[in-house]
Structure 1
Amino acid sequence: MAQKSTRFLVLGGTGSIGYAFAQTLLRNQEHVTLLVRNRQKAQKLFGHWPTLELVSGDAQDEELLKSVAAEATHIFHGINYPYEKWKHYMEHVTRNVIEAAAINKATIFFPGNIYNFGLIDVITENTPANPTTEKGKIRVQLELLLQQAATQGRCRVINLRLPDFWGPNVLNEGIAPVFRGALTGKPMPWLYRNDIPHQLVYTPDAANAFYELSKLPLQQPYTEYNYAGEVVPSIKQWQAQIAAAAGTEPRYKVYPGWLFRLMGLVAPGMREISEMGYLWQNTILLDDSKLHQTLPNLHRTPMPQAIEETLEWFRQYLKDE
């Protein structure tokens, strides 16, 4: 367990990875502050924890964020926006996070992704950035901002690069319909191709990796790790496993690329998905040898257990909808 003086500020705590990280911290009796825009949603998600403090507000408000971060030793930057809002929101909020972290030279935890590299087979921590999309260019810029701030001594940064998320409270339109479909016997959708290997990370496992890294003395101002999660033989096989655990017959639906190109003519969100189509048409793998050398005892939840835990969360979620 981390030192008693450690205090965590979690941003994006009602989202996918932020929720998992906050839950991990609370189970380990860490002091956690959540800055949330929707207090009622946060209260419903988390319930009562003796070491949890909820603060209502928006991380786009720099002065509020600095006030909330005044005692934080670690800030989890789990803020995300719909694709079409990245350009105007992500850089601004990341600069706010850096300013807030600079107060105490806090450590920023940043969940990176694979958009920085374009189409490539394997990504290591030494793979040079080569973004081929607007979202990839934005992600590279965000990481450069964080790296520069850390190099200047304003904060510390741990960038843990992750593949696609799945798990409890992962409600994006790539994952949630899979679990809804499995529980209701409806088709489980996917984009472009469901017949090739795909890398996925169970969010509680990613959260645990972040937490284990928080216990280590930082050797460098800016440190980058990959966390590979698990490679499934195909999304179709993974969905069949989920359906079997849910007690339903697997039904599949694959959305073709032309559909997003067509819908993109009138819907910005669909246009953004079309630009990222290469992620679902190819197998892109993170190599996490460095992380396992640093954390040799890092635990990964067995797939059957992870599926059952996620199904149980979605059963309750669907009941409350």
Structure 2
Amino acid sequence: MATGNMRFLVLGGTGSIGYAFAQELLRHQERVTLLVRNRQKAQKLFGPCPTLQLVEGDAQNRDLLKKLGADATHIFHGINYPYEKWQGNMERVTQNVLEAAAINKATIFFPGNIYNFGLIPVITETTPQAPTTKKGAIRVKLEQMLRQATDRGECRIINLRMPDFWGPNVMNEGIAPVFRGALAGKPMPWLYRNDIPHQLVYTPDAAKVFYKLAKQPQLPAYVEYNYAGEVVPSIKKWQAQIAEIAGTKPQHKLYPGWLFKLMGLFSAGMREISEMGYLWQHTILLNDEKLHQVLPGLQRTSMQQAIAETLQWHRESLEFGI
């Protein structure tokens, strides 16, 4: 059931983690406003729901965001851009979110990632941030903006740091082709290395964590937690499990690092992926002991069930043209 007078504004709700969080809120009958650039796409994704309001627009529209923020107690900052468009866009949209949150001193949910740290084998909440890439530096700047806003008493922040996302409606080029390849009996691609342990988080599980943290009493104005998800022994073994559940024979396809360097000569997007290559060449792990102290009963969806749910979502999305 809905929790009191909480009113949620979700930005990026047709994307990966934003979609999962919006679905979690709607399951609890919370009042949710979704700011979307494509209303028709959102209607296909969510269907009719009595507690959901769709507003068409862009989070770069500062006045619109402040208007929506005036009625929100919680704002989910799930806005993302292609790598090559991060510079400038991410800072501007985050400033807009902060100004919208300041109206009601709302709580901002921020999905953090591991780019802030460079190549560090294990990351805790006290690990010094030392980015080695342009996008890592941008992430550090965004989190500094969030922390400074709480220092000024303008809002509250829940920063949940996570590894790679996967799950229903995770449509990025690293994840969606794995599941669609498995369904079609075609090669399942990956980057750099598929033979080392890799940490992944199932988006519906992350959404549950965000919602549980929203209901926690007396959290500090700025809180940061790692959510580790699950470590698979290798992407190759994980893909084989996906294919088995899909009822097909696993086929693997590995894109080598030199290919991105070569393509980066002609494509800004490929240059950005090449810069982040260390993420796929090494095992980097988040430690989430701090989160489990706050949420001691936290459970993950079993890998078998999570894969089955994601495959079913892709079957249906292909059928309905999502």
Aligned partner of residue 130 in structure 1, secondary structure: coil
Question: Can you list the C-alpha shifts for 1:168-214, whole angstroms capped at 9, x where unaligned?
Answer: 00000000000010000000000000000000000000000000000
User: Which one-letter code corresponds to 2:125 in the other structure?
Assistant: E
Q: CA RMSD in A?
A: 0.7
**Cα offset, 1:34, TM superposition:** 0.2
Aligned residue pairs total 321
Percent identity over the alignment? Answer: 75
Contact 1:2 1:215 in 2 (8 A): no
Paired position in structure 2 for 1:22: 22
Q: TM-score, normalization: structure 2?
A: 0.99
Give the whole-Å Cα distance in 2 for the aligned partners of 1:167 and 1:194: 19
Paired position in structure 2 for 1:253: 253
Q: What does 1:95-244 align with in structure 2 at a 5 Å threshold?
A: 95-244=95-244
Contact 1:156 1:222 in 2 (8 A): yes
Give the whole-Å Cα distance in 1 for the aligned partners of 2:132 and 2:249: 39
User: Which one-letter code corresponds to 2:152 in the other structure?
Assistant: Q
Aligned partner of residue 225 in structure 2, secondary structure: strand
Paired position in structure 2 for 1:11: 11
Distance 1:2-1:144 versus aligned 2 partners, 3 A rule: farther
Contact 2:2 2:29 in 1 (8 A): no
Q: Which runs of 5+ in 1 are unaligned?
A: none
Give the whole-Å Cα distance in 2 for the aligned partners of 1:100 and 1:20: 22
**Cα offset, 1:137, TM superposition:** 0.1
Deviates more, 1:210-219 or 1:155-164: 210-219
**Cα offset, 1:316, TM superposition:** 1.0
Contact 1:2 1:214 in 2 (8 A): no
Give the whole-Å Cα distance in 2 for the aligned partners of 1:218 and 1:82: 36
User: Which one-letter code corresponds to 1:205 in the other structure?
Assistant: D
Give the whole-Å Cα distance in 2 for the aligned partners of 1:131 and 1:217: 33
**Cα offset, 1:218, TM superposition:** 3.5
Contact 1:164 1:201 in 2 (8 A): yes
Give the whole-Å Cα distance in 2 for the aligned partners of 1:297 and 1:27: 20
Provide runs of 4+ in structure 1 moved above 4 Å: none
Give the whole-Å Cα distance in 2 for the aligned partners of 1:2 and 1:91: 32
Residue 66, structure 1, aligned to residue 73, structure 2: no
**Cα offset, 1:2, TM superposition:** 5.5
User: Which one-letter code corresponds to 2:164 in the other structure?
Assistant: D
Give the whole-Å Cα distance in 1 for the aligned partners of 2:201 and 2:70: 32
Q: TM-score, normalization: structure 1?
A: 0.99
Give the whole-Å Cα distance in 1 for the aligned partners of 2:151 and 2:127: 20
Question: Can you list the C-alpha shifts for 1:193-247, whole angstroms capped at 9, x where unaligned?
Answer: 0000000000000000000000012331100000000000000000000000000
Aligned partner of residue 101 in structure 2, secondary structure: helix
Q: Which runs of 5+ in 2 are unaligned?
A: none
Give the whole-Å Cα distance in 1 for the aligned partners of 2:298 and 2:53: 29
Give the whole-Å Cα distance in 2 for the aligned partners of 1:229 and 1:103: 34
